[in-house]
Amino acid sequence: MAIFITMKRNLKHYLLDAVISGDIGERTERGMILTTKEFVQFFEDKHQSKNDYFRSYLPSVSIEAGRRDMKHNKFLFKIGRGIYKIHEDAIHSHNAKYAHAIK
């Protein structure tokens, strides 16, 4: 039996879980790419609700133009209208924190 460490999870964690599992996003030569359309559709379907928060979430967690450093609340690069690249460190950090089990 595996016991998972529980921590307070928020939309960022659920988003990264979905990306890592391949439910949303697309791995390209530029990195992991996500669109607003697929993000909103995935989470509206999952939560069976229409929510403006889902539409405004990706822009709110985008790293400012000209910057490269990721922060806990800024982990996407906007690369086009409604198109975002996920900072690789966000994926690696998420895997390190949440993808292991204590036996």
* 4 found inside a domain: no
Q: How confident is the model at residue 82, as a pLDDT?
A: 94
Q: How confident is the model at residue 97, as a pLDDT?
A: 78
* 49 found inside a domain: yes
Q: How confident is the model at residue 8, as a pLDDT?
A: 66
* 1 found inside a domain: no
Question: 68 CB contacts (<8 Å, ≥6 apart)?
Answer: none
| Counted domains in the chain | 1
SS (H, E, C) 60-100: HCECCCCCCCCECCECEEEEECCEEEECHHHHHHHHHHHCC
Q: How confident is the model at residue 103, as a pLDDT?
A: 31
* 43 found inside a domain: yes
- 10-residue mean pLDDT profile of the chain (103 residues): values are 53 91 93 94 79 85 88 92 94 78 33
* 3 found inside a domain: no
